[in-house]
Amino acid sequence: MRFLRLLATFVRVGVLGELAYRANFFFQLLESLIELGTALAGLAIVFSYTASLGGWRPDEVVALVGVYFLAGGCIRLLIQPSMQQLIESVRDGTLDFILTKPEDAQVLASIQRVEIWKVADVALGLAVIGVALVRMGSRIDAVRALQFAAALVAGGVIVYSFWLILATLAFWFVRVENILVIFQSMYDAGRWPVGLYPGWLRFALTFLVPVTFAVTVPAEALAGRLGWLTLLGAGGLAVGLFVASRLLWRAGLRHYSGASA
């Protein structure tokens, strides 16, 4: 509850800061729509030559594109801005301001900046998932819905923990932004089922940059292709990474001695 209230406060601050630049919302929406249109047009071309792509039917890949937008939107809305802010504040010492507040510092650092207009990606992603679900119709049952929700939550926790671990490395190494840029460019590969890629790339997208868990696994759940074992693995990895990131964060804080001040 307390967490939600805090989050709501930061969202409000984000909205207030951006309301002065309302035109940005329309440009963001335009850019997101173009990106979505591009992805769907690419699908249309590919599926004009085949009925299924590596075992995925058209509706299922559309759902995957929806998950890609949803997950990417959440990352760009909250996780990435906050983590970039965190890295910066470790470098210039303004992390002190967070540490002195009477609230868990990890929570504050993780929601400190909201890029509110990226909510357009989240909304578009949800809409695309909705359309795909309607077109899949009766193929969706309660079990799949449940698996999907669980996979989405696990993917979200994995991506968050992954970013927190990278950002926390800033306590020891000053320059870590580069790794974040690599994540950005590799995230694009999540637009297609990772099963299509050669083994080494699939491995990199699963364990080095957890795009697989954020996008492909939830979409597999919708397509009814997700084994319970994979889901269990995703859940286990989520818990493991979350604990690990928490431990690393505490070690980082002990190592932190402020800058300049």
For residue 47, the minimal CB distance to other proteins (Å) is 9
Dihedral in degrees, nearest 10, Cα atoms 197, 203, 207, 209:
-40
Taking the complex as a whole, the smallest distance from the CB of residue 55 to other proteins amounts, in Å, to: 9
Query: Which string of DSSP letters, residue by residue, matches the chain?
Result: -HHHHHHHHHHHHHHHHHHTTTHHHHHHHHHHHHHHHHHHHHHHHHHTT-S-BTTB-HHHHHHHHHHHHHHHHHIIIIIHHHHHHHHHHHHHSTHHHHHTSSS-HHHHHHSS---GGGHHHHHHHHHHHHHHHHHHGGG--HHHHHHHHHHHHHHHHHHHHHHHHHHHGGGT-S--HHHHHHHHHHHGGGGS-GGGS-HHHHHIIIIISTHIIIIIHHHHHHTT---HHHHHHHHHHHHHHHHHHHHHHHHHHHH---S--
- The yes or no reply on residue 38 touching other proteins (CB under 8 A) is yes
Between 175 and 255, whose beta carbon lies closer to other proteins? Answer: 175
Q: Which is nearer to other proteins, 121 or 148 (CB)?
A: 121
User: Does residue 186 interact with other proteins by CB under 8 A?
Assistant: yes
For position 49 contacting other proteins by CB under 8 A, the verdict is yes
Question: Does position 242 bind other proteins by CB under 8 A?
Answer: no
173 binds other proteins, rule: CB under 8 A: no
Q: Does 192 bind other proteins (CB under 8 A)?
A: yes
Among 100, 178, 257, 260, binds other proteins (CB under 8 A): 178
- 198-227: contacts with other proteins (CB under 8 A): 198, 201
| 182 near other proteins, judged by CB under 8 A | yes
Asked if 31 touches other proteins (CB under 8 A), the answer is: yes
CA contacts within 13 A on the Cβ side of 94: 9
Rank residues 181 and 261 by Cβ distance to other proteins and give the closer one: 181
Contact call for residue 185 and other proteins (CB under 8 A)? yes
How many residues bind other proteins (CB under 8 A)? The answer is: 32
Which of residues 124 and 231 has its CB atom nearest to other proteins in the complex? Answer: 124
* Whole-angstrom distance, CA of residue 240 vs CA of residue 242: 5
Minimum Å gap between C-beta 172 and other proteins is 17
Which residue in the set 50, 138, 257, 260 belongs to the binding site for other proteins (CB under 8 A)? Answer: 50
Kindly state whether residue 100 participates in binding other proteins, applying the rule CB under 8 A: no
What residues line the site for other proteins (CB under 8 A)? Answer: 27, 30-31, 34-35, 37-38, 41-42, 45-46, 48-54, 175, 178, 181-182, 185-186, 188-189, 191-192, 196-198, 201
